[in-house]
Structure 1
């Protein structure tokens, strides 16, 4: 399989995760990935974009709206998901989250379904959170 890359830039608003999931499904379907891998990718994308939007809330200024960037990069045996935002603070896993909590499980889910995940600070500012999903049999 040849490597493929797709990038989508979204306003950091509550509907961003919905648009990101839809984009992910459409792109990965066009790349002929198996349905179960598409479902897993949509879950990861939803969690990472939701986190980016939530942690960018209140960071917008009147001159420019905060943005979230989703990049999907597919190689023969893996899919790399990257979500960039303008918040310079590193992502933090909540570790032990109570069963009654309505949130705080995003990075726990990403860690559970990914081969690996991390983040970096690009020279343009903000951060990029990424994860690798395997595409072969596990």
Structure 2
């Protein structure tokens, strides 16, 4: 059962124009979240960050689906500090960077996020992993 997308919070609740959705963990949701993010970025005229944002969304949503618990939440909002991407789940164990050997097929997601983001982190309760991407000059 893949469940339905449910708005998690109105855009005003996340502090700036953006979107938030909750969904049941399923691999098909990764592609769907990339598409929703792309539509949002196109609507805001933020094409320069589209591909980077889609990659960050892919990595964070995949981590939540594979290692999280319960529903997954995705929030994306453009603000004065940049494009903030947050992914949450019910697992209190925080996401963490880990070394990946050359032969490993996975384990590099957060390394990619850290390399692409201006800053990233995990909420104090461990439920939310977030990243901020730089926006083109003068764009919130």
Q: TM-score, normalised by structure 2?
A: 0.81
Listed as ranges, the matches of 1:78-97 within 5 Å are 78-95=82-99, 97=100
Other structure's SS at 2:18 match: strand
Aligned residue pair count: 123
Instruction: Give 1:77 deviation, angstroms.
Output: 5.2
Instruction: Give 1:94 deviation, angstroms.
Output: 1.1
Other structure's SS at 1:44 match: helix
Residue in structure 2 matched with residue 33 of structure 1 by the alignment: 46
In 1, the alpha carbon distance for the partners of 2:80 and 2:50 equals 15
Residue in structure 2 matched with residue 24 of structure 1 by the alignment: 37
In 1, the alpha carbon distance for the partners of 2:64 and 2:95 equals 9
Structure 2 runs not aligned, ≥5 long: 1-15
Instruction: Give 1:101 deviation, angstroms.
Output: 1.1
Alpha-carbon RMSD: 1.8
Deviation per CA, 1:83-124: give whole Å up to 9, x if none: 0111110112113x12221100010000000000001145xx
Instruction: Give 1:13 deviation, angstroms.
Output: 1.2
Structure 1 runs not aligned, ≥5 long: 60-65
In 2, the alpha carbon distance for the partners of 1:15 and 1:119 equals 24
Q: Are 2:20 and 1:7 aligned?
A: yes
The answer to whether the Cα contact below 8 Å between 2:81 and 2:132 also exists between their aligned partners in 1 is no
Other structure's SS at 1:46 match: helix
Other structure's SS at 2:102 match: coil
Q: Are 2:136 and 1:136 aligned?
A: yes
Considering Cα pairs closer than 8 Å and 6+ residues apart, tell me whether 1 or 2 has the greater RCO. Answer: 1
